[in-house]
Structure 1
Amino acid sequence: MLNIYNLSVSFQGEYLFEEISFQLKGGDRVGLIGKNGAGKSTLLKILSKEMQPDTGEMASDKSIKIGFLKQDIDFVQGRTVLEEAYEAFEEIKNVEQKMDDINHQLATRTDYESDSYHDLIVAISDLTHHYEIIGGYNYQGETEKILQGLGFKREDFQKKTETFSGGWRMRIELAKLLLQTNDILLLDEPTNHLDIESIIWLEGFLTNFPGAVVIVSHDKMFLNNVTNRTIEISLGRIYDYNKPYSQYLVLRQELREQQLASQKNQEKQIQQTERLIEKFRAKASKASMAQSLIKKLDKVDRIEVDEDDNAVMRLRFPISIQPGRVVVEAHKVSKNYGDNHVLDKVEMAIERGIKTAF
C-alpha cells in the first residue's frame, strides 16, 4: 500500500530520524509513539505529502487516498454542521450539481424531439447510474450516523459551525475524514476532544477499518484497544513491532535485557581473548597464534544495546512578585456557544500552591 525507504529529516544539522524504512499495508493499525519532539507529527506530514523529507523515497499506488487529521483546522463561516460534513463527498456533490443542471434543462426546454434533448436524457441516465455507484443515495444517512457516533445530536445538525467550540469543530473535521473513502488514515491526537462514549465509538470504527491507520496519541488505553502494531521513534531511529502499545513496551524491555546479557557474555569472551593475545605476544614461538587471535577479534561483530532516550525537559517559572493566597477567584461565570451552555454561573477559587486539573 505504502512503502517508505531510507527516509531522513534533519533540522539545523540534527536528525529527527535517519534512513528509516517501513511498510504500511491494509489492516495495519499503527501506534506511532515517541517523546515530544521525536518527530511523530513531522513523519505524519511526510506520509501525507504535506512535507518533503531531506532524503529517501516513498512509493505507493497512484490511486491511494490518504486522509490526515491535523491539530489545526480552518472552517468556512456560515455552513451548518451537516453542510460542513457533506464537504467530505466532493465527487457526489459535483454529480448532484450536474444532475440538477440537466434536470433544469429537461424541465424548461420544449424541443423534445431534438438530438440535443435526447443527449440530455442519456446524460442524466448515465449520471444517475454513476451517482448510485458512488453512494449518492446513502451518504446523507451515513453522515448522520458518523456525527451521532462522535457525540452530535440531531438538533445540532442545522446549527452553524462557528457556534461550536474548537473541540466540537475538530469532531466535525474527524467526521469528514471518516466519511471519505481513504485508504490510509493519519490521525494526530484524535481523542483530544472526545468524551468516553465517542472514544469507544471511534475505537470500533477504526478496528473495522479495512485500510491502514497511523495514530499519534498520548491515550494509552486507546492505543491498546485499537492498534496491532507499534512504531517508536527514538534517537533518530525506529523500532517496529507487530504488537499493541503495552505489549510492545514489555517486548522492547525483554529484548533490551537480552541484548545486555549477550553483550556482557561477548565482552567476557573478548577480554579472555585479549589476555591470551598479550600472553602469546611475549613468546616468539606463539607470535603467529597471537596474530591469528587478533585477526579473529577484528572480525567480531560487537553487540550493540538499543539506547534509551532519557532526556527530560526541565522548566522553571520564577515568580517576580509573590502572589496573595488567592490567585484566581471567579463568581457566576457563564459561557455559551450559541444555544450550547458550557458554563453556568461557575463559582471557583484557586489558591497559591494548588495544582488544578480541568
Structure 2
Amino acid sequence: MLNVSNISKIQSSETLYSGGTFQINPGEKVGLVGPNGTGKTTLFRMIIGEEKPDEGQISFPDKLRWAYFSQKVGEMAGQTAKEVVMSGDVKISELGARLKEYEEKLVDCANMSEDEMNDVLMKMGDVQSEFEKRGGYDLETRAEEVLTGLGIMPVDHNKMIEDFSGGWKMRIALARVLVINPELILMDEPTNYLDMESILWLEEWLKNFKGGIFMTTHDRDFMNNVCNKIIEIAHKRITTYTGNYDFYEKERDLRRDQLIAQASRQADMLAKEEEFIAKFKARASHAAQVQSRVKKLEKIDRIEVPAEEETINFQFPTPPRGGDDVVIIKDLSKSWPLSDGSAHEVFHGLSTTVKRTNKIAVVGVNGAGKSTLLKCITAHTQPTAGSVAIGPSIKIGYFSQYSLEVLNPEASVFDEVRKDLPTASDGYIRNLLAAFLFRGQDVDKKVKYLSGGEKSRLVMAVLLSQNNNFLVLDEPTNHLDIKSREVLLDALKRYEGTVMFVSHDRHFLSELAENVYEVDKGEVRIFPGSYVEYMERQ
C-alpha cells in the first residue's frame, strides 16, 4: 500500500536518515517514533509530496485513497462545523453535484426522447453506485457521529467555524479526515488538544478502522493500544519493529544488547588478527599468511554501536517540610459571569484538605473547570464563595501554559535558569539542564528559538529546583515527546513534596496519581486511590 525504498534526506546540511526502507500493508496500524528533530514530520511531508527525498523512492498505488491530518489545519471559514467535515471528501462532493445535475435534467423528462432519458438514467445509475460505495448517503450521519465523538456536541454542529477556538478547529479538522474513510490515514499528533474522553473515543474508532494508519503521537498508551507495528527514526536510521510500543521498547533494547555483544566479539577477533600481523609481519616465512589476514581485515565491515543517550541521575534538592495540611478548602464555589448578566457555575461546595506528599490528579472533560480549580488554589483567580487556606511554610510552584510566555525570549537557556537560581553553581545548573535533556550547545540556545516542549522542560527544571514544596501543574505534559514525559514523570515520582496536576496522558496519570479529583457538571468529586482504580470504577 505504501512503499518507502532506500530514502535519504538532508536538511540544513545535516543527514536526517539514509537508506531508509519500510512498507505499510493494508490494514496495518503503524506508529512512528523518534526524538524531536529526527525528521518525523519531514517524512510525512515527503509521503504526501510536499517535499522530496534526496535519494530513494516513496510510492503507493495511483488510486489509493489517503488522508492526512497535521497540526497545520489551514484556513477554514464560511461554513458550519458539519459542512467543513462533510466537504472533506472532494470526490463525494463532486458525485453529489453530478447527481443533482441529473435530477434537474429529469425534471424536464417530458421533453426528452427515450434515448436521451435512458442515457441520463444510465449515467445517473453509475454515479449513484459510486456515491453509495463511497458512503455519500450516510455522510451527514457519519459527520455528526465523529464530531460528537470528538467532543463537539450536536448543538454546535451548525455553528460557524469562525466561532470555534484553535483547539476546537483542530478537532473539526481531525473529524474531516476520519469521515473521508480512506484506505490510509496519515496523522501527525492526533491527540493534541483532545481531552481524555475524546482520546478514548478516537482510540476505539481507530482500532475498529479497517484501513491502514501511519501516525506519530506522544501518548504511549494511545500508540500501544492502536498500533501493531512501530517504525523508529534514530541515529540517522529507520528501523521497523513488528509489535506495539511496549514490544518496541523491549525489542529495541534486546537488539542493542545483541549488537553490543557482536561488536565485542568482533573487536576480540580483530585484536587477535592484528596481534598476529604485528608479530609475524617481519618474518618472510609468514608473509603469505600475514598478507591474507591483512586483506581479510580490509574486507570486514566494522560493527558500529550507536551512542546511547546518556541518562543523567540528577538529585533534586529535598523541598523544605511544610505543615501536614497543605491546603484547607472550605465550601469553595466558582462561577463566571456571562454576557447576558447570568452566571455559569463551574463548581460549588468543595470542602477538602490536601495532605503533605499527596499526588493528586485533577480530571474532567475540556471546559469542566480543571484549570479554574487550580487557579483558585493558587490565588490566580478569586472564588465566588468559600475559602482556600494554604498551610504553614507551604511554598507553591505553579505551572501553566502562561508560564512559557513569561520566559525572556532573548535570554539563553542557561541564563534563564541562572536568573531563577541565583545561588546555584554553574555545574549544578548544567547538570540540572542535562537531566532535562539540554546538553552541550543546547544550554546556550536563546529561549525564542525553543519549541513548546523545550520551554516546558525549562520551566519544570526550575520549579523542581526551587524550594517549592507544593507543585500545582496545569498540563505539564503538553508539547512534550515521550522521552521528555518519562524524564518529568521520573522527577515527579522522586519529588518529596505535594503535587496537584492536570494531564490527559494516561500513562503519566497511572504512574503518578495517588488520588483523583473529578470536575464534572458543577461538582468536584474526590476519589481516594490511584488513577487506575478510579478508571476501574467508571
TM range (shorter): 0.7 to 0.9
Q: CA deviation at 1:41?
A: 0.3
Q: How many residues align?
A: 336
Letter in 2 for 1:32: L
**Structure showing greater relative contact order (alpha-carbon pairs closer than 8 Å, 6 or more residues apart):** 1
The aligned runs of 1:126-205 (5 Å cut-off) are 126-205=126-205
Q: CA deviation at 1:354?
A: 4.1
- 2:72 — aligned with what? 72
CA distance in 2, matches of 1:108, 1:270: 89
Letter in 2 for 1:178: L
CA distance in 1, matches of 2:219, 2:82: 29
Q: CA deviation at 1:63?
A: 0.5
Normalising to structure 2: TM-score of the pair?
Answer: 0.56
Q: Which moved more, 1:287-296 or 1:193-202?
A: 287-296
Letter in 2 for 1:217: T
- 1:269 — aligned with what? 269
Q: Mark the CA change 1:210 to 1:283 in structure 2 (over 3 Å): closer, same or farther.
A: same
| Aligned partner of residue 204 in structure 2, secondary structure | helix
CA distance in 1, matches of 2:176, 2:144: 11
CA distance in 2, matches of 1:15, 1:334: 55
1:236 matched to 2:250: no
CA distance in 1, matches of 2:17, 2:311: 16
Q: CA deviation at 1:220?
A: 1.1
| Aligned partner of residue 191 in structure 1, secondary structure | coil
Q: Mark the CA change 1:79 to 1:334 in structure 2 (over 3 Å): closer, same or farther.
A: farther
1:225 matched to 2:237: no
Q: Which moved more, 1:301-310 or 1:345-354?
A: 345-354
Conserved? CA contact 2:235–2:306, under 8 Å: no
- 2:477 — aligned with what? none
- 1:15 — aligned with what? 15
- 2:84 — aligned with what? 84
Instruction: Write out per-residue CA displacement over residues 235-290 of structure 1, whole angstroms, 9 at most, x where no aligned residue.
Output: 32212111222221221111111211221222222222322333323544344433
CA distance in 2, matches of 1:262, 1:127: 61
Q: CA deviation at 1:131?
A: 3.5
Q: Which moved more, 1:218-227 or 1:13-22?
A: 13-22
- 2:302 — aligned with what? 302
Conserved? CA contact 1:31–1:229, under 8 Å: yes
CA distance in 2, matches of 1:295, 1:3: 38
Q: CA deviation at 1:174?
A: 0.9
Letter in 1 for 2:89: F
CA distance in 2, matches of 1:126, 1:59: 30
Identity %: 35
CA distance in 2, matches of 1:125, 1:287: 85
Q: Mark the CA change 1:77 to 1:290 in structure 2 (over 3 Å): closer, same or farther.
A: closer
Letter in 2 for 1:11: Q
CA distance in 2, matches of 1:110, 1:291: 97
Q: CA deviation at 1:25?
A: 1.0
Structure 1: runs of 5 or more not aligned: 313-330
- 1:56 — aligned with what? 56
CA distance in 2, matches of 1:294, 1:122: 78
- 2:45 — aligned with what? 45
Conserved? CA contact 1:220–1:245, under 8 Å: yes
Q: Which moved more, 1:258-267 or 1:132-141?
A: 132-141
Structure 2: runs of 5 or more not aligned: 313-333, 345-366, 381-394, 401-472, 475-538
CA distance in 2, matches of 1:206, 1:149: 12
Q: CA deviation at 1:352?
A: 9.1
Q: Mark the CA change 1:169 to 1:266 in structure 2 (over 3 Å): closer, same or farther.
A: same
Conserved? CA contact 1:112–1:118, under 8 Å: no
Q: CA deviation at 1:10?
A: 1.3
Instruction: Write out per-residue CA displacement over residues 309-341 of structure 1, whole angstroms, 9 at most, x where no aligned residue.
Output: 5699xxxxxxxxxxxxxxxxxx998799xxxx8
